[in-house]
Every structure is written in C-alpha cells, then in structure tokens.
Amino acid sequence: MKKKMIFALLLSLIAGSVFPGPMVTPVQGAGEPAKQHSQAARPQTTPVHEMIIFNDYQVAGVGTDGLNWVKHNEFILPPKTPLDIDIVQTTYQARPQSPNQNSMQVFLDQRELPEFARETHGDTQQLRWQVPRFTIPDSQLSPGNHLLTFVVRDGSGRSSSVNVSFRVESEVYPLIFIGNPADKVQLAAGATDHIYGKSGSRSYYASVPGTWKLSFKENGRELLTGKNQTFQTGGLVQGVYELVFTPEDVNLWQWHATLHIGFVDLYQGEDASGQKLSPGQKITAEKAPSTVKLFAEVPGRWWVNGTGQTLTESRQFEVAIPEHLAGVTLAVQYTPEAADHSASTSVQIQVPGSVHACARTDGNVDMDILMRNNDKSSLQVERVNLSPTASTIKVYQHPIHEIWLATAADYLKQQDEDSEEGPGVWVVNNVVADAAKLNWDHTALELSKYGRGRHQVMYYSKNSPGESWCATVQIIEDSRPIPSDTSCDRLESGVVPPSAQMTLKGRGKTLTNGMTVTIQSERDWEAYETLELSATHAVMKGFQRRKLVKNSKSDLRTITFPDLVWETDTTRVGERVEYNGGLIASENRVEVLYNGTETIGMIAPTRRGEDGGRDEGEEAIALRSIIEQAGSKPGTYTVKVTNKLSYQSCALENYRKGKRKVIQTKDNVQTFTVNIVLP
C-alpha cells in the first residue's frame, strides 16, 4: 500500500507539470536529495523520460527547464534485494496525423537486457506511457557499482537516453570459527563443514552474540537451538544438517552453513566421473597382473591390507594386482588426511582366476605353529617345519586364546633369529589378511582371530614371490584326543558323501546344471523369482554316546559326539553344518554374477555357533530381488552354486618298522551354474 501511494503522488506531480525537484527521502541512509545532475536539453519533439523510480525512490526526472536531472550514486541497494523499476516516458508525433510509437530499452553495465525491451503505440500527438513495473533479479546485481541506461525511442528513430549509476551493498556476516577461535579455523557463510565417519560432534564460536539453530537439511526439522557465542552440536549420526546463526546486530547478515557427517566417497577410475563405490563394495579387477585405479574426493592415506602397498596425501591410488594373487580378494583401506581410523572406508577387489586346492608341491617354505593358552603364559611351539600339504592340519586349544602360524618360531618368540622367508602376503580363505591379524613385520599370522573351523592359508614372500606355502589348518576348540592303538576306529572315519546332482527349483520349474533361461515376460519371472536348492548335505540327527575306553569294565567314562548323516533333498542356501567332533560336514554358497565378472549377490555362511554348529543360511535364492537391486540391466546373470561336502578319513601307512594312522579331512566340491538372460 505504501509503494502505491508514493508512486501515485509522483505521478500526480508530473501530471500537473510541476517539477520542483524530487522530495522523496533517500533510502539506505543516502541523506537529503543531493545536487541535481542535468543531462542534455532536447526540443519539445524529442522523446523524454519524465520519471525513473528505483524501489519507490525517484532517481531521475525532468526539471522546470525541460532538462533531465539524475541522482548519480545516491541509490544504495541492499544485498540480495531485487530492483523494482517504474518509468514514465513520452514520445511525440513526427508529423500531424502520423502514428505514434513509444519503445524502451534497458542496458546494465553496457549490456542490453532484452527481456525488458517493450513498446506501445497510439495516434495522439503526445504519447505518454507509464511503463509496467519490471524487476531485475538480485542474481544479476553483484555487490559494487553499476550503471543502468534507459533508452526511449519513437517510430521515426528519434531517441534519448538517461544513465543512472548506483551501488549494491556487500553482505556482512559475523565471523564463525570451528572449535576455539584461537585455532583460526574460520567457516565461511554457505560453506560445508565435513566430519568423516559414522558419527561425530562439533563446537562453533561466533564473533558476536546471537542465536543458533541446528536442523535436518532434508526436511528442515529443528534439532537443537542455543543463544550464546559458543554452540555445541552434541553427538550426531551420519547425515546432512543445516546450521544457522542469527546475530543480534541488525547490521550483520544471517549466517548459515551445512554440516555433513559421513564417509568420503570413493570412485573407480582417475576422477569423480568414474563409478561411485559404496563402503565395502566389491569390484573386479580386469586380470592378474594388472592395476586398479581408485579416486577419493579429498586427499588421504591409502593402503592395501597385507601387501605393503601404501600412499599418503593423495586423492588417486593405483592398486597393483600381482599374478600370484589370482582368485583372491584384496581389501583397500582409505582414511582422509587429519582423520582417525573411525573415518576409514574400504572397498574390495576380486582378482579374476581360480584358487586351486593346496598340494604338497605348492611352495617351498616350511611353517611353525605356536600357541599361548592365556594372557599370563608365554608362546609355546606346537608344531615345526610344516610343509605345504593337501591334508588338513589340526590344531587343538580349549578355550581358543592365541594361535600363530609363523615362518620361524624362534623369530616370533625372541626376535633373535632372522626369519628365512621374511615378511609376506597372507591369504586366508581367499581374502588377503589385514595388518591387524599379522605381527609387526608380517612374518607371522594370528590364525586364532579367524575363530574355530577350517581355514585355507596361503603365504607369499614379499622378498621372493616364488617362495610360498599353502595348507588348510583346522582350529578345534577342544582338548587334544587321547592317543589310541595303531588302528582306525569307526569314529575316525566319516561316510563318503553320495554322488548326486544339484538342482534349483522355481515355481513349477526345475533348473539343471548348465541351463540358460531367457526372461521374456512377467510370467517367466513368476517361475524363477525365487529358487530353492536341492543338494546333498549333512543333517544333524542328535548325539551318540560311547565308552572312552573300549572293553574296559572299570573305566566307565563315556564320550558324546554328534550323529551326522548325508541326505539329498531341499536344503537352505548359504547353510553350513559343521560340529566339533563330527565326522562329516557340509556347506554351500551362492554367487550371482552379471555378465560373468561383476558379483551382484552373495549368499554364504557368515558365522559359526559356539559348538561349530550350524549356520542356517536362507530358505531360497531371491533371484529377482538381487537382479532388481543391481538395476535389472540387460545381460546374462549367472547363478553359481558351490557345495562342499567334507568327511574325515583314517588310513594306515607304513612308518619305519610299523604302521601309523593318517587322519585327514577330505573335500568333495560340487559346482552348479545356470544363466538367466534379460534381453
């Protein structure tokens, strides 16, 4: 209402041909109307700007002498404020009875603004036009001095112009510091403050008193407020927040910034244009040997678990893939500079190729096994000079406390003898071991950190990659068995698993090994949406009890052992059945591959119970869900099932002048694949 009254008053003054000079009070403290600056006089027939108004403040007009006056540099526009402009301009007929035209052009700093060009027409001798208000957005008005030029033109090409200079104020914000102001870590308005990790907190300090508000960026929901120069966010979880500080000084602008809590984004490639990787994501190397390039948004520390590859203060990292690590998984760790381990993130690299079962010929290195039974005891040598073997090496400890596999026992215990093979790369269950599971110079592996069960261990010397070792070590949480006569007892040999084919069953459909199915319709999906596995597996029937000492009437002690049998029928996927003392065991795992290389889904045993026990896995393969989560891209999706059936074997072999028992665990590994094609 106020703007309309002021503008109406100005128009009434012009309509009465009274031009005593502008009497509008200047805005933004510009003071009283200053000296009027006249521009060139013009004949009565020359187009004229009668009035130019900025945000209801008149900056140009016509004096009683018919000349334009202009208030240069008197109008000051606040920051982030659009400029409303009102103009009254007049043109005259070039000759009687001829059409009259009144047009306008606007130039900002000598650059035309065509969006504001307009015109009107009439048949009167004097065409007076009150131009509709137009607005220059604040995004086009940067802080500093500016010049606006207004041109009025009639139909005969006669024109006149008025130049008006003005100034746009700069934003003045309070000073905000992260932590203590003495640290001089200033956070600019509109900036983003990063806290790396799953959670975090922050302290801020303002140079002037005011009010703080912390809210969720996504929905604006208020989380915390405060009124002081200091502000504590308290503990915050991973997410994006907005922090606003409103100073009590009205001459200062409201300050705001973004607080981002989370991990640094990693990319596969040389920059952020590559594939974005989520924490823990597994990618596949092209081949072995090769390199995989990784990129982080901020410089940081990189290292590859167990291999010795490291790099600091870098955004780019090239992971070298050695040929002898074909078939294993590498873990790459990244931590931003100046951040602690809690801010670390990692990705896994699957190296193409197959890891073959260990054999006596796999390597030329011997290993020692050492154990510590409790924190107060010292390391004791359990086994020495273990060569690579296809047999399972059994280690007993109850309870499991500390078990080491070392290249040289004396070096690990006393550091008084050099390890012959030196530091190495250790691979356990096809995954490179990280430094937390190795000793100070990577010459020994703390195998007990992997828990009970069987673990395939491979060692490659960093000094001489041709020197290696491979074997399966089974950690059994039990006392060492009592020695028996040189004969195989029935409890020392398990039943050999039957030979039976695996199948996958959908809704009314059965898939056999090597089949390919093309999904053409929703009905096809209904048949293969979920798949059940039918395979041979171990089943726990209960427990059996027998006397510890056979044929003894005085020693009535008994032992209890699990009663396990083989069955071939529907079984759960990702199931493991492996009980301490059991003579047979089974486990299966399912992997879903896209176009044969990219792993998009994995169902595998993830834990062992207190007694070895059973990992139940899942009822079926949710195939459609896995493919949809990967984007349902056209291509071939391979479902690979690996079913491992293990049994204990006992045999007698000639040894010196007699016989000795050789007890080992043998594995029958079955594989099964089907292809699902999305055209």
DSSP states of 88-150? EEEEE-SSTT--EEEEEEEEETTEE-GGG-EEEEESSSEEEEEEEEEEE-GGG--SEEEEEEE
Of 509, 505, 517, nearest to 674 by C-alpha is 517
Bridge partners, residue 573, by sequence = 618
What are residue 331's phi and psi, to 5 degrees? Answer: -110, 125
Alpha-carbon span 473 to 662, nearest angstrom: 15
56-79 pLDDT tens trace: 999 999 988 888 999 999 999 998
Of the listed ranges 221-235, 337-351, 597-611, the one predicted with least confidence: 597-611
- 47 with 153: CB under 8 angstroms? yes
Alpha-carbon span 472 to 429, nearest angstrom: 9
What are residue 377's phi and psi, to 5 degrees? Answer: -90, 170
Of 465, 463, 464, 459, nearest to 444 by C-alpha is 459
What are residue 412's phi and psi, to 5 degrees? Answer: -70, -35
- Confidence (pLDDT) at 552: 59
Q: Average pLDDT for residues 607-614, to the nearest whole number?
A: 60
Of 242, 180, 256, 210, nearest to 233 by C-alpha is 242
Contacts 24+ apart (CB under 8 A), 133-140: 133/84, 133/85, 133/86, 134/84, 134/85, 135/82, 135/83, 135/84, 135/85, 136/82, 136/83, 136/85, 136/108, 137/82, 138/79, 138/80, 138/81, 138/82, 138/83, 140/108
Dihedral of CA atoms 648, 652, 656, 658 in degrees, nearest 10, equals: 130
- 299 with 402: CB under 8 angstroms? no
Q: Average pLDDT for residues 16-21, to the nearest whole number?
A: 36
Tokens coding 506: 């959908």
Distances (CA, A) of 598 to 82, 281, 591, 639: 54, 11, 10, 12
Structural domains of the chain sorted by starting position, each given as residue range(s) with its CATH number in brackets:
48-168 (2.60.40.10), 176-262 (2.60.40), 266-351 (2.60.40.10), 368-476 (2.60.40), 503-606+616-678 (no CATH)
Burial class (CB in 10 A: 0-12, 13-18, 19+), 223: middle
The dihedral built from the CA positions of residue 175, 177, 181 and 185, taken in this order, carries a sign that is negative
Of 101, 108, 102, nearest to 150 by C-alpha is 108
Percent of the chain scoring above 90 in pLDDT: 59
Is pLDDT at 609 greater than 80 in this prediction? no
Bigger pLDDT: 546 vs 468: 468
Alpha-carbon span 423 to 147, nearest angstrom: 73
- Confidence (pLDDT) at 18: 34
User: 160 Cβ partners below 8 Å, 6+ apart?
Assistant: 42, 46, 47, 48, 49, 151, 152
Tokens coding 293: 């390039």
Place of tokens 């059965």: 510
Bridge partners, residue 616, by sequence = none
Of 434, 421, 435, nearest to 466 by C-alpha is 421
Top mean-pLDDT range of 237-241, 285-289, 407-411, 553-557: 237-241
Q: Average pLDDT for residues 423-427, to the nearest whole number?
A: 91
Contacts 24+ apart (CB under 8 A), 215-222: 215/241, 215/242, 215/244, 216/240, 216/241, 216/242, 217/241, 217/242, 217/258
- Confidence (pLDDT) at 556: 65
Alpha-carbon span 226 to 204, nearest angstrom: 11
572-584 pLDDT tens trace: 999 999 888 889 9
Q: What angle do CA 609, 611, 613 make, to 5 degrees?
A: 55
Alpha-carbon span 491 to 563, nearest angstrom: 11
Bigger pLDDT: 251 vs 369: 369
Is pLDDT at 36 greater than 60 in this prediction? no
The dihedral built from the CA positions of residue 352, 358, 361 and 364, taken in this order, carries a sign that is positive
512-571 pLDDT tens trace: 999 999 999 888 898 999 999 999 999 998 888 776 666 555 666 677 788 899 999 999
Bridge partners, residue 102, by sequence = 120
Averaged confidence pLDDT in the chain: 86
DSSP states of 462-530? SS-TT-EEEEEEEEE-SPPPPP--SS--GGG-PPPPP----EEE-SS-EE-TT-EEE--SHHHHHHHSS
- Confidence (pLDDT) at 331: 92
Question: With helix as H, strand as E and coil as C, how does 554-613 read?
Answer: CCCCEEEEEEEEEEEEEECECCEECCCCCCEEEEEEEEEEECCCEEEEEECCCCCECCEC
Alpha-carbon span 441 to 424, nearest angstrom: 9
Report the run of H or E that residue 164 belongs to, with start and end: strand 159-168
Alpha-carbon span 42 to 47, nearest angstrom: 8
Burial class (CB in 10 A: 0-12, 13-18, 19+), 646: buried
- 537 with 588: CB under 8 angstroms? yes
**pLDDT band, residue 120 (cuts 50/70/90):** very high
- 628 with 601: CB under 8 angstroms? no
- Confidence (pLDDT) at 417: 60
Q: Average pLDDT for residues 15-43, to the nearest whole number?
A: 38
Of 541, 496, 493, 532, nearest to 511 by C-alpha is 532
Alpha-carbon span 360 to 447, nearest angstrom: 21
**pLDDT band, residue 288 (cuts 50/70/90):** confident
- 215 with 222: CB under 8 angstroms? yes
Of 340, 303, 26, nearest to 197 by C-alpha is 340
**pLDDT band, residue 391 (cuts 50/70/90):** confident
Of 135, 62, 46, 54, nearest to 94 by C-alpha is 46
Alpha-carbon span 196 to 214, nearest angstrom: 19
Alpha-carbon span 201 to 261, nearest angstrom: 9
User: 466 Cβ partners below 8 Å, 6+ apart?
Assistant: 364
Of 469, 473, 434, 432, nearest to 451 by C-alpha is 473
- Confidence (pLDDT) at 22: 33
Q: Average pLDDT for residues 8-37, to the nearest whole number?
A: 37
- Confidence (pLDDT) at 360: 58
- Confidence (pLDDT) at 466: 76
